[in-house]
Homo-oligomer: A and B are copies of this chain.
Amino acid sequence: MTFGHDATGLRSETVRRANLSAIVTELHLHGGLTRSELVARTGLTRGAIRGLIRELTAAELVAEQPSRQRGVPGRPSPVVLPRGDRAVVLALEIAVDSLAAAIVGLGGEVQRLVRTDRPRGHLEPDAIVDDLRRLARPLLAQVGADDLLIGAGMAVVGVVRSDDGLVHTAPNLGWTDVPLAGMVARALGVRAPVVVANEADLGGLAEHRRGAARGFDDVLYISGEVGVGGGIIAGGRPLAGASGYAGEVGHLPVNPAGTRCRCGSTGCWETEVGERAILARARANLRGGGRAMDRVLEDAAAGSPAAVDALRITGEWLGIGLAGLVNVLNPRLVVLGGLIGRIHPFVAGEVERAIATRTLSPARRDLRVVPAALGIDAPLLGAAEHAFEPLLADPATWVSPQDRALQLRSA
């Protein structure tokens, strides 16, 4: 069962929009392709590609360079490059114990990236937004007035409504109903749209576009920080749910006889595989945060029985939750990020075993479980991808009518 259509009428202008979108998306994802490669990938004719590239060049979204590729017969095809120097986004992140900002260009190149430590614990929204402003200001100053700031994307450790970027709850920050998108837009003074989404959702998006899940259409990304979050790619696109809250795997009930969760429920997955659960099993300092966790991992690597045992039990619970999710979502790839990615080497066996005994055999046959490739910056990069989305979906908005008129006159 793979289908579904949008029952909306198309106009011939729509075709151009869709084709521009196809080209810009290909270039953004692959970083640079020859015209003839674009012909092959999009299925369009050379003539059509030529016209579209000309428009994108006029809009300064792409640039052409003489071919690099040598050694093949035939006239060389010029390379079309996304202009990451002209079309950029601002990416922001509020993580558990850091804040980050980056300027990312079309094509995915990270121009600048800054990250600062943040004390754990609750902090007023205004204070954090102000910190972000200070972090982002020098980066924004670097963006020229002529450059195209497509938008700003933001990753937050919290439950975010997709419509308007309202942070509904963020237990790690002590936030409830914070209209973050609007606050950040005002603080930065940028006119470009600000989009906010959950950290794990964006981490999954980044791993899908540029990390371990590249090329896979059905992916489950699990991100462990203090809590546990998930990002789902289904059929090549992020699974948002009705209001953008999908992927909250941390509160999957796996152990009704278990311990109380901070969400009010009992036996949530997070209570078994979250940071606190691991520290408790390893009899480490529960308030030690990241440092204590580093210690546990070092001990486990050194063979300490307490640490190894703590991770082994955690791995079993990790596998139980994953098995359920695999049965429900049938992904081709599971990507483990954050803390869960770090413990992966120690728990791979337990996870494999749990999946082997608890999932339907066909669903597990082609399944692979791998650690994340992008590390700590995954959510930040995902925020950039999120911010680029309007441009990829409809570049025509940025291809000004003046450009087209000018170009037609000169032709």
Binding site for B on A (CB under 8 A): 1-12, 14-15, 18-19, 21-22, 25-26, 29, 41-44, 48, 159, 161-162, 168-169, 197, 201-202, 205, 217-218, 230, 232, 234-257, 263-265, 268, 320-321, 323-325, 327-332, 357-363, 366, 386, 389, 392-393
Q: Are B328 and A393 in contact (CB under 8 A)?
A: no
Within 8 Å CB of A169, what residues of B?
A: 360-362
Tell me the minimal C-beta distance from A164 to chain B in angstroms.
12
Q: Which residue of B lies closest to A359 (CB)?
A: B251
Q: Which residue of B lies closest to A235 (CB)?
A: B240
Within 8 Å CB of A386, what residues of B?
A: 1
Q: Which residue of B lies closest to A356 (CB)?
A: B264
Within 8 Å CB of A357, what residues of B?
A: 264-265
Q: Are B15 and A19 in contact (CB under 8 A)?
A: no
Closest 4 CB pairs of A and B: A241-B330, A4-B237, A9-B42, A9-B44
Within 8 Å CB of A321, what residues of B?
A: 253
A253 partner, pick from B3, B29, B323, B362, beta carbons under 8 A: B323
Q: Are A252 and B10 in contact (CB under 8 A)?
A: no
CA distance A8 to B19 in the complex (A): 7
Q: Are A256 and B7 in contact (CB under 8 A)?
A: no
A329 partner, pick from B162, B237, B241, B265, beta carbons under 8 A: B241
Within 8 Å CB of A242, what residues of B?
A: 217-218, 330-332, 366
Q: Are A328 and B247 in contact (CB under 8 A)?
A: yes
A168 partner, pick from B18, B264, B361, beta carbons under 8 A: B361
Within 8 Å CB of A359, what residues of B?
A: 251
Tell me the minimal C-beta distance from A72 to chain B in angstroms.
24
Q: A159-B362, A324-B253 are in contact. Are A26 and B44 (CB under 8 A)?
A: no
CA distance A9 to B232 in the complex (A): 26
